[in-house]
């Protein structure tokens, strides 16, 4: 059982809920826009559900594909939000990838004086970049898969040399993914160098400054660890129950497995990882958290080898909030409803501003 108390028994912050004006921010211009739309609507529905303890107001703010922001259906320039919302509003960021997860939206909100969920600008940018975050976590002693970063310009100029380097990582299969992407968009699993070459030639162009991260596949079970900053300064982040992921078709956690109704089996607590292995994943996740400078909440993904060793995949500072998402699943096992989790994120964001 999780040591986490039920939300209703938690800290004295709960009486502040009626003081909250919550702006749920979703949409965006990244490749994960459609996922964010689903997350945002789910959060809005949960927070607007009639309950004894309700926020003062809950509004939806969508970043449109053309870059404008829409406040409950009325498009406006982002700079106009300051006159449309109370200054003590808290933004619950339900964006994924791109400007939402890379830190630029966080920086804008902080410049406007708004509290927001999620990480700081610097930690968001580092965690989103799969190449830089991989290097930071590896330097902290957490195992990563054999891999290399390949800039698009290098692939175009010397593809044979790149494929030789890939083969030097070890036998396939290999995974190739955009360093600034998420939700397995434009990601592939290649068994041969030829398959990898075909993917590079047909994939959508990468963002400016983005690279391909190519890693040798690691045999094992995928698991994800949710962490929250501890209420005790200077101590390790608190861990939610671990979630085990069992793909049902292709053998890896692709977009369909993540979001399809017939996708992967996600079990919490895990079915095939014993208590000792779960503890090793928790410790590795906390080490990665420290290496990335995280201070709010995150979901960190691993492959657990048959020997029980966790291998770091990536960190998600704005993990999904759809009906199929993994952080809400872990929170439910800890005794928190989806709505409780959303409120807790907002209370923590507001408290962080009050203490700075």
Active site residues: 32, 183, 259, 299, 301, 314, 316, 320
Write out the H or E segment, with its range, that includes residue 311. strand 310-316
Strands 310-316 and 238-239: unpaired
Q: What are phi and psi of 232, to 5 degrees?
A: -100, 110
- Do residues 212 and 152 lie in contact, with contact meaning Cβ atoms separated by under 8 Å? yes
| Burial (CB count within 10 angstroms: exposed 0-12, middle 13-18, buried 19+), residue 91 | buried
Distances 115 to 36, 95, 119, 148 between C-alpha atoms, Å: 20, 15, 11, 37
Number of H-type helices and E-type strands within the chain: 13, 16
Nearest to residue 96, comparing CAs of 27, 23, 186, 151?
27
Q: Sign of dihedral through CA atoms 334, 335, 341, 343?
A: negative
Nearby residues of 189 by Cβ (< 8 Å), 6 or more positions away? 173, 174, 175, 217, 250, 251, 252, 254
């Amino acid at each position: 059982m999780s040591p986490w108390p039920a939300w209703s028994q938690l800290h004295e912050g709960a009486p502040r809920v009626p003081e909250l004006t919550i702006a749920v921010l979703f949409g965006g211009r990244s490749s994960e826009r459609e996922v964010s739309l689903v997350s945002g609507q789910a959060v809005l529905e949960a927070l607007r559900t009639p309950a004894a303890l309700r926020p003062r107001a809950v509004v939806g703010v969508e970043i449109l594909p053309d870059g404008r922001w829409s406040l409950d259906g009325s498009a406006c320039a982002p700079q106009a939000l300051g006159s449309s919302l109370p200054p003590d509003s808290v933004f619950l960021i339900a964006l994924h990838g791109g400007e939402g997860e890379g830190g630029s939206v966080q920086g804008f909100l902080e410049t406007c004086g708004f509290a927001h969920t999620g990480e700081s600008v610097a930690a968001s940018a580092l965690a989103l970049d799969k190449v830089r975050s991989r290097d930071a976590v590896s330097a902290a002693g957490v195992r990563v898969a054999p891999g290399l970063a390949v800039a698009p310009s290098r692939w175009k100029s010397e593809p044979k040399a790149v494929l030789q380097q890939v083969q030097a990582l070890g036998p396939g299969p290999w995974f190739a993914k955009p360093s600034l992407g998420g939700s397995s968009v434009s990601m592939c699993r290649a068994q041969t160098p030829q398959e990898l070459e075909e993917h590079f030639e047909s994939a959508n162009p990468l963002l400016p400054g983005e690279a391909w991260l190519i890693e040798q596949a690691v045999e094992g079970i995928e698991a994800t660890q949710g962490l929250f900053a501890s209420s005790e300064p200077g101590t390790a982040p608190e861990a939610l129950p671990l979630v085990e992921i069992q793909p049902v078709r292709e053998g890896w956690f692709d977009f369909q497995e993540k979001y399809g109704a017939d996708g992967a089996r996600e079990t919490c607590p895990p079915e095939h990882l014993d208590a000792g292995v779960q503890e090793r994943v928790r410790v590795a996740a906390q080490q990665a958290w420290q290496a990335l400078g995280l201070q709010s909440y995150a979901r960190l993904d691993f492959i657990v080898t048959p020997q029980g060793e966790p291998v770091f995949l990536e960190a998600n500072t704005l993990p999904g909030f759809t009906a199929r998402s993994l952080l809400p699943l872990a929170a439910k096992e800890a005794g928190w409803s989806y709505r409780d989790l959303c409120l807790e994120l907002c209370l923590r964001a507001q408290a962080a501003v009050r203490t700075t």
